[in-house]
Amino acid sequence: MIFERTSKTIFCSRNRFRRQSLVSDLTRWYQKYHRDLPWRKTKDPYKIWVSEIMLQQTQVSTVIPYYHRFLEAFPDINSLAAAPVTKVLAQWSGLGYYRRARYLHLGARYITRKCQKFPDSPTEISKIPGIGPYTAGAILSIAFDLPTPIVDGNVQRILSRIFGIKSPLEDKQTQRKFWTIAEALVSRSKRPSLFNQAMMELGATVCLKSNPRCTPCPVSRQCVARIRGWQEQLPVKRDAPPISKLFWIKYIWEKDGKVWLTKNTQRGWWQGLWDLPGIELSSQSEIATHVKRVLKTPGIKSYRALRSYKHSVTRYRIHVTPYHLVTKIKPDLPLPGRWIRVGSISRMPVSSLVAKVMSGLIRSDNKLVNFV
């Protein structure tokens, strides 16, 4: 087992691992093989911050168009701070995990009001709402080339395998060990910016969760997991909580080319976003009964069932059944809202789920089901 007591000591290893070799090998590999990504072409801490927040729990290919669109709308921190949060959410619409956008907006307002410039010290940057240890380390190292450590899921996986760490990721002692090792490694780097990005790149393209690509790995000769055949066993995670199923109906109430949307004021996944009215049921078998009851609403001219969707949020799998209802009069709905033209909904701050449902409406060729 490889371990380190403090960030100042030398690693101990049965394999005589040399941390300086790991740092230099990984940095050289990154300089030669890294992907050409837009946020790697700037040292602007604001733009790096935006990219890091967007990349949390989101794939790179998904982030790239949102990154360009967001910076086009808010090219600097002052424009983001001055914008209303509804406009920020609209630009974020479809990217998911909307709390990230709210904290980004809060953080921009904090910086413009409390700081002379973007903070470049661990103490000051940690005061910004929504910036935790990983994001702080990423911004400080990439934008300012400071030797600050980063530890996220990718880095945990890399360190677990290289150092043969078999204790569960969730243990506080394991987390302290990761940060200690990461700090020791980056402190040995002459280019902290390149080294930390190399760690990110290695986890994203080589040291994968399943079927890691050990052959092209620049540090495979120093990796305990590869030497001992533990690649698929590390990192060690405790059993994840069971997946919960939810059954939702979403109603698209349409009148004269406009759709009724409600504002989500409740705390939760989509707080502050516009939503379609609907209901959560305990099972899929209840859907038909609820729809029949809704179809008795006065003023409905026609209806149709749209394609169902499955939508994942954290440990929940949501089964969504949408219905399109054309009405002559405003329905008596329990939540306040407003009529929005169908063509304008794409510019509203809505969740990716609502965007999916509306996309199904616009693209569907199903005929309306008329009834008296």
For tokens 């954290």, what's the residue? Answer: 314
- The encoded tokens of residue 85 equal 């949060």
Euclidean distance between CA atoms 194 and 31, whole angstroms: 8
* Residue 72: active-site member: no
ω into 75 cis (within 30 of 0) = no
Contact 244, 312 (CB under 8 A): no
Closest CA to 263 of 95, 133, 89, 113: 89
Closest CA to 130 of 53, 59, 73: 53
Residues facing residue 320 across a β-bridge: 248, 309
Euclidean distance between CA atoms 253 and 298, whole angstroms: 13
User: Three-class SS of residue 9?
Assistant: coil
Closest CA to 156 of 133, 139, 140: 133
Choice among 4, 52, 183, 254 that is catalytic: 52
For tokens 């794939």, what's the residue? Answer: 59
For tokens 């043969």, what's the residue? Answer: 164
Angle between helices 19-33 and 172-187 (to 10 degrees): 80
User: Three-class SS of residue 357?
Assistant: helix
For tokens 């620049």, what's the residue? Answer: 218
User: Three-class SS of residue 191?
Assistant: coil
Chain-centroid distance, C-alpha 14: 38
Q: Which residues are catalytic?
A: 52
